[in-house]
Structure 1
Amino acid sequence: MPALADLNLAIVGLGYVGLPLAVEFGQRRRVVGFDIDVARIAALRKGIDHTLETEADELAAATHLRFTASADDIADCNCYIVTVPTPIDAHKRPDMTPLVKASETIGRVLKRGDIVIYESTVYPGATEEVCVPILEQVSSLVFNHDFFAGYSPERINPGDKNHRLPSIRKVTSGSTQAVASLIDALYSEIITAGTFQAESIRVAEAAKVIENTQRDLNIALINELAIIFNKLGIDTEAVLEAAGTKWNFLPFRPGLVGGHCIGVDPYYLTYKAEAIGYHPQIILAGRRLNDGMGTYITAQLVKKMLQQRLQVDASRILIMGFAFKENCPDIRNTRVIDIINELRDYNCVIDVYDPWVSADEVKSHYDVSLVDAPGFGTYDAILLAVRHDQIVAMSEDTLRSFGKQGHVLYDLKNILPRGQSDLRL
């Protein structure tokens, strides 16, 4: 096992998680950033990050970092950090394909004494049950004798410029006590908020997966309360403002739950739980409720349109915002698509406006075409779906200018003051 000063890093996967990691380490030590996306590598070499997680000056400051799409270029490294996506499939089961492929790639260049650290969110046990056997098989090396492993879960919050990688405390772990200490010391070089060394890889994996499961359940509770209050004719935001005056009331808000973490991670935990014979109840109930919010929101909108004598069939509807969260170009697992698909079933004509996201990516991944700007006097209904700064800056008059006479304005994100929209969640 190499000494701390002798670690040569390879970051495998240069997305929202891997690139900030590569940039931080690349300011201090030799780092090779590897990604199979050739276009991504070409852009990074020009100092362009389409995720907007790093600025051009930050990329330029990482003078020890170089980018490659060739696995041969990481063969000389001795510490590999895996930051590839861990999505779910159409049946809401873990899709380990990116993790498996990354492990196979590393296995082909793995040498005696090397360390492989995983950051991708998985279920407890996945590193040692899925990834390590692949490393052993491909490399013909023996785990904890010839090579070692660790797990340090990512905590990147896309679009958040206040909580950056160095200022978020990092959980670390290793397959032996010695490698755990080495991994902890490595991350301590870049994490100013400090580290927490978990007692095992499985503990670190479990800690990560419950972070977002807890948030998912809290949002599910608020979503259910919003449904109840809507039926009672009570404004949900007014209730939350009143309840929030208590010091320990948690400030969650209702809405769509998408993204690469909160809407995905709980399924990794429930998959593992069912594999060992336990059927989760609360976690899956929360997931079902949150996954059903697109259908509920659409039903609210259609009901309001009918109440205002608007024809739903062939109506023109404007959806403002497509990213899974505000001020971020990330469209992974955005649940805005649920509303679009529901409205398509009503034979509505949908225009989607989002100044943050790539129109090509949206078209490629979701078969949705964006408009460059909303049309004036065009829409039977307008739905404010994402709290982008550009949308927040628009007044009620501006937003309503996009609608036809008698249109419905649904403020899903409570952007406008109370009373200025026709519907709120």
Structure 2
Amino acid sequence: MAHSRRDVTVIGLGYVGLPLAVALARQFPTTGFDVDSRRIAELHDGHDRTGEIDRERLADSKLSLTASADECPPSDFYIVTVPTPIDGDKRPDLSIVEAATRTVGTMIAAAHAEGRRPIVVYESTVYPGVTEDICGPLLEKVSGLACGEDFFLAYSPERINPGDREHTIDRITKVVSGQTPEVLEDVAALYDAVTSGGVFRAASIRAAEAAKVIENAQRDINIAFMNEIAQIFGRMDLSVWDVLAAARTKWNFLPFAPGLVGGHCIGVDPYYLSHRAEELGHDPRVILAGRSTNDGMAEWVAERLHAARGDKAGSVLVLGLTFKEDVPDLRNSKVADLVEALKARGHVVTVHDPHADADEALHEYGLQLDGGALEHTYDTVLLAVPHREYLAMGADVFRERLEPGGTLADLKGALEGADWTL
């Protein structure tokens, strides 16, 4: 660096960017930028809709917040933490990261004009090569600067797990990489200052990009195996949970479980790797087989629930819509797919979730959350997402919500005494 001070701007203040920005602001002058002005207004008011940072921590933080790129001061580090979803054809959609890159391009031009040689760090999940082959040239085009001379690239994959209070940004090991050995050390020092878990210096930017994408692909494939054996044992009228209880007594048995695979990472990232593999002429059979199994799980569950009622439609209360328990995150919720599959079979479905935002559920999935759903009775009550509030109620409370002869169903085997499980 040309000077000892480290000014940081974080672009994107969602589940990844906000915790990172708050952590960085404890050590460095940090600005958090997000194009969503409503998000910035909420954060100014002390409310984090993701539930990752509480009101007290926001109030105590020195983090500057803005929805205007022009208000971001020149910085030494620009860290991009925007989403990288897939499109309708399950291909990587880089439009958001490209838009953020264009914004950063204008920012680094201003930083360079005052004598800085900024480092642009990407945390967004991508396939190997995106940072150097796509983002770098785009930054050059927008800024008019030379990559590797006037500004530099780095990559440090995010490892945020929504709702996880143990593996937080200030405790995990951060993988870091940089365009040059000097940049690598600068980036390592930045992250090492905010996490007690230390840093791991990856051999290259591509290696760091690849490490992130296989972390989630590995989980996806293991869960796919669990879902496949659940389907096999279902044909045998054998509880997969009974089988897993026995198998888990072996010391090296991996404790994965069947279920719906949603969220922004595990259900998305493998498609980034498979896309790049296909571009290179390789057929990623294992990756795509896992994705096919997991993507079809909602349809299979709906068919089994329908069969449990003798193939007769009825009323169904679905408890939980978020992609996992105890978080408000609705991104890529496969429970929504399950609801649609039940409706397609003629069932009248009511959805309840104490964590999900009603407006977001309506906007994303066209589903109306019913806050008073537990006041009525149904032919089937399905615990789809085992939020702590539901587990505290217990099976007996839900049985009271059943019509005579109704079914209490539990997707994840979290309730004792359920009539139906995977």
The bucket for the TM-score relative to the shorter chain is over 0.9
Q: Unaligned stretches of 5+ in structure 1? A: none
1:203 maps to which residue? 207
Shift of 1:224: 0.6
Within 5 Å, which residues of 2 pair with 1:4-83?
Answer: 5-63=4-62, 65-83=63-81
1:404 aligns with 2:408: no
Shift of 1:251: 0.5
Structure 1, 369-378 or 96-105: larger mean CA deviation:
369-378
Q: Distance in 2 between matches of 1:375 and 1:215?
A: 34
Q: Report SS of the residue matched to 1:234.
A: coil
1:123 aligns with 2:127: yes
Within 5 Å, which residues of 2 pair with 1:250-329?
Answer: 250-306=254-310, 311-312=312-313, 315-329=314-328
Q: Report SS of the residue matched to 1:306.
A: coil
Shift of 1:365: 0.9
Preserved CA contact (<8 Å) 2:12 2:80: yes
Shift of 1:406: 1.1
2:106 maps to which residue? 108
Preserved CA contact (<8 Å) 1:410 1:423: yes
1:169 maps to which residue? 173
Q: Unaligned stretches of 5+ in structure 2? A: none
1:156 maps to which residue? 160
Q: Distance in 2 between matches of 1:377 and 1:34?
A: 44
Q: Distance in 2 between matches of 1:74 and 1:396?
A: 52
The percent identity for this pair of structures is 48
1:422 aligns with 2:408: no
Q: Give the partner amino acid of 1:145.
A: E
1:388 maps to which residue? 387
**CA offset digits 1:240-291 (Å, max 9, x no partner):** 1111111111111100000010000000000010111111000100000000
Q: Distance in 2 between matches of 1:230 and 1:344?
A: 22
Preserved CA contact (<8 Å) 1:411 1:423: yes
Preserved CA contact (<8 Å) 1:8 1:30: yes
Report the TM-score, using the length of structure 2 for normalisation: 0.97
Q: Distance in 1 between matches of 2:149 and 2:253?
A: 50
Q: Distance in 1 between matches of 2:2 and 2:363?
A: 44
1:339 aligns with 2:338: yes
Shift of 1:387: 1.1
Deviating 4+ runs (over 3 angstroms): none
RMSD: 1.1
Q: Give the partner amino acid of 1:116.
A: V
**CA offset digits 1:100-151 (Å, max 9, x no partner):** 0000001112133111000000001111111111101001111101110100
Distance verdict in 2 for CA 1:234–1:193, change over 3 Å: same
1:137 aligns with 2:137: no
**Count of matched residue positions in the alignment of Structure 1 and Structure 2:** 416
**CA offset digits 1:374-425 (Å, max 9, x no partner):** 24452111111001001111222210111211112211011222xx222111
Q: Distance in 2 between matches of 1:180 and 1:110?
A: 19
Report the TM-score, using the length of structure 1 for normalisation: 0.96
1:374 maps to which residue? 373
Partner residue of 1:241 out of 210, 220, 245 = 245
Preserved CA contact (<8 Å) 1:376 1:403: no
Q: Report SS of the residue matched to 1:340.
A: helix
Preserved CA contact (<8 Å) 1:121 1:265: yes
Q: Give the partner amino acid of 1:102.
A: A
Shift of 1:347: 2.7
Q: Distance in 2 between matches of 1:75 and 1:270?
A: 39
